[in-house]
Each structure stands twice: as structure tokens, then as C-alpha cells.
Amino acid sequence: MEWDNDPIYQMAQRQFDEVADAMSLDRNLANRLREPDRGILISVPIRMEDGNVKVFDAYRVQHNDTRGPYKGGIRYAPDVTLGEVAALSMWMTWKCAIMNLPLGGAKGGVRIDPTKHSRLELQRLTRRYTSEMVGFIGPQQDIPAPDMGTNEQTMAWVMDTYSQLKGYAIPGVVTGKPIAIGGSLGRTEATGRGVVYTVMEAAKHLNITLGESTKVAIQGFGNVGSHAALKFEKLGCKVTHISDVSGGYVNTKGFNIQHALDYVEKNKSLKGYTEGDSISQKDVLTAPADIVVPAATGHQIDEKVAAQLKCRILAEGANGPTTTEGDRVLKERQKDILVIPDVLANAGGVTVSYFEWVQGLQNFFWSAKEINRELAKLMTKAFEEVMETQKKHKVFMRTAAQMVGIERVAKAMLARGLYP
């Protein structure tokens, strides 16, 4: 397949092969799990506001649905590739299984820079993409959600288009949609809060007290990074380093996170923010902080950055923020740095997406307090299971997390057998 030559997909496969060897996974199962079930390539033509028609490349990759319907976000990014989407779909399979959710892994993407297009153009793009995907998605088949470059409005357009084509309202086709059409309380904050819940458990494991003396550096001030920052601040920690596309910023006294959020809402980015001194993205990651959260894009921590990390806990809020070479360095530094891998750290989003899906199927909605309580409970349990696996097999935390997920998927596949 076309994705085989993509470096991100190759990284996902190398991770899988390492885990499969570590757990002596049956070779027949390994052969099935190394490749996605299905990859869909779509050309999406839309009429721009100037009257011209442009065609955008789009993808949806469905990795495995043995444990339940496919689940995964749709990202709009100018550099998204089929291989990247395939890798993300594989990681989603492990992520859902680590959290013990009855879901499988999928991912979608459209190669477009959403910041350079109007709301009308993005709506046309989303509706055309959905109409092309209508035979492959559904509440019991494949359930998209927001990802990089998309949001609850995007999901509302997907839901409406799918419902129009089917002839009746089907809120369950997506998660991460507005509350007004069946969205869940707590979904927007879920990924960031989930990151912090895992950090809280890691701190207990390391006998670290989170409070005023705890310094936090967060790369990426989007949905994940900003909500993680708010939660850290609520715990009494000092968020001393933040960044977005405009660069990094440091304030050794700690940022007022709500003030920073208000600035971003008004100015679209942190550019020109005077409450902190300008630094590089690398400086944010290698900051003298107790906790570092890479919550921007993938491939940020290579071997050089990994060697310079000064944190005690590295919580991967983004998908695939560490390269293969960076992982080798982090394995050597396991005694100094506890890595909470992406498939565990950022699983809060898909967990509350699962809650939203369940609430929609039941037409019975929960309070924010109930959702946060259940999210904390599942994140805590997952962390404990991964930590137990790490101690039992004496492996790297990323390997331990994927072992938990892959074992659950493998057991389900053995139970169901091979058809025909």
C-alpha cells in the first residue's frame, strides 16, 4: 500500500514489531495487526468563494474493529499524508484497548490549511468529504471526532450531512459535537484533563507532591495544551513555559493561564504576548521544569532534544511527539524521566467521546461532574495497569502501554476467529 513508505507509518510498525516480539505475540495475529483493515483515498472538489473549483486530497483509514466500531478523529492539515493517518489509526486501536473501550481504531484527514479558508469553504469541504464517506461511517460502523484543525462545528456539519443523506437525525455518527445536538459535557476539555490525571498518578508513583513548587512546561497551547494548563494551575502548579505556532514564552513566576487564553482568543495566537519572554520551541521542551507536556504536533522530540530534557515526567499530549531515535534516548534515561506515552496520556479525548456515544445511544445525558469522575477513574485504572505491566516485564513505558492494548485486541481476535 501507499502508506508503507511513509516514515510515520514505518515508526508505528516498528513500535508494533518491538511490542509483538516482547510479548511473543502469535505471528498470524501479528501479521493481521500490522496492517489496517481498509484505507480510503478521496478527491474532494469544492467551489471556492471566488468561483474556482479546487480539489483536495482526503483520507480515512480503518485499522481494526474487532472490539467494536472504528473510532478516530478527522484532521485538517496542509501536510497530512495517508501514511500519517494510517499510523494514527493503528495507535487509536491500541489507545481504545488500553482504556478498555469497546471500540477500534480509525483516523481521517484532509490535506488543507484551514486557517487559509473561509467558514463557507470549510463547510463545503466537510459536507463533500462526509458525502463521499457516507457508506463507511455510522454509529455502529465508524465514529469520527475532532482532531487537529477541526472542532465541534466541523462535527456538526458531518452529523447534519450524514443525517440529511439518511433521512433522519443521527447524532451518534460523530462525537465532539455541540451540546445542542447531543454533544457531551466535558468533551472539549477531556484530552487535556486526561493528561493531567495521568501526571497525578505518575507523581504518586514517584512520591512527588504537585503544588506551588512544581514547574510545568507545555509545548502547544491549543485545545489539549491549554486545558492541561488550566488543570495544572488549579492543582497549584506553576506553568512557566508555553508555546504555540508563534513561538515559545517563559515566565518563571508562572503564567496566568486564563489571561493567556483571553489573549489568544482576541489575537488568534500568542504572538506579541508580553507576559512572558520569547524563547524557542526547543527551549520549552528542554526547560528546567518538573513536568513537560508536548501537546503540539508529532516528531518534536528527536535524539538531541531527548538528551537535553530536564524534566522528571514527560506526558505526551500530542500523537507521536517522539521520534524513534528520541525513544532510544528516553529508554536509556528511564531512571531519570518517566514517560507517559501518547496512547495513554492523551486517551482522555476518546474516553469522553465514548461517554458521548453511550449517552447518545441511551438518550440519557450525564452531568459534567459525573463525566470528570468517570474519566479520572478510567485514566487512573489504565495508568495502574500500564505501570504493573512495565514492572512485570521490565520494559519501556511505551512498550508496556502498547502491550496492554495489543494483548486485549489479540484476545478478542482469537475469540472471534478468522472469517471465512
Distance from C-alpha of 79 to C-alpha of 328, rounded to nearest angstrom: 26
Task: Write down the residue that cell numbers 504536533 correspond to.
Answer: 297
| Per-residue pLDDT, 1 | 76
| Per-residue pLDDT, 55 | 98
Q: Which residues, 6+ apart, have CB-to-CB distance to 136 below 8 Å?
A: 38, 40, 60, 62, 142
Distance from C-alpha of 383 to C-alpha of 318, rounded to nearest angstrom: 17
| Mode of pairing for the β-strands spanning 247-250 and 238-244 | antiparallel
Q: With CA atoms as reference, report the closest residue to 66 among 404, 310, 415.
A: 415
DSSP for residue 209: P
* 2-173 homologous superfamily: Leucine Dehydrogenase, chain A, domain 1 (3.40.50.10860)
**What is the grid cell recorded at 251?**
515566565
- The full set of domain ranges for the chain reads 2-173, 190-345
| Per-residue pLDDT, 298 | 86
pTM to 2 decimal places: 0.95
* 2-173 against 190-345: fold identical: yes
**What is the grid cell recorded at 123?**
463547510
| Per-residue pLDDT, 33 | 97
Please confirm, yes or no, whether 234 is among the known catalytic residues. Answer: no
Fold classification of 190-345 (topology level): Rossmann fold (3.40.50)
Query: What are the per-10-residue average pLDDT scores of the chain (420 residues)?
Result: 88 95 95 96 97 98 98 97 96 98 98 97 98 97 96 98 97 97 95 98 97 97 96 98 96 97 95 96 97 94 97 96 95 97 97 97 95 97 98 96 98 95
Residue in 54, 71, 95, 107 annotated catalytic:
107
| Per-residue pLDDT, 270 | 96
DSSP code string of 339-351: EE-HHHHTTHHHH
Task: Write down the residue that cell numbers 487512573 correspond to.
Answer: 380
User: Which backbone phi and psi does 400 adopt, to 5 degrees?
Assistant: -60, -45
Integer CA distances (angstroms), 121 to 18, 50, 165, 178, 258, in order: 43, 10, 20, 20, 31
| Other beta carbons within 10 Å of 49 | 10
Q: With CA atoms as reference, report the closest residue to 90 among 70, 109, 75.
A: 70
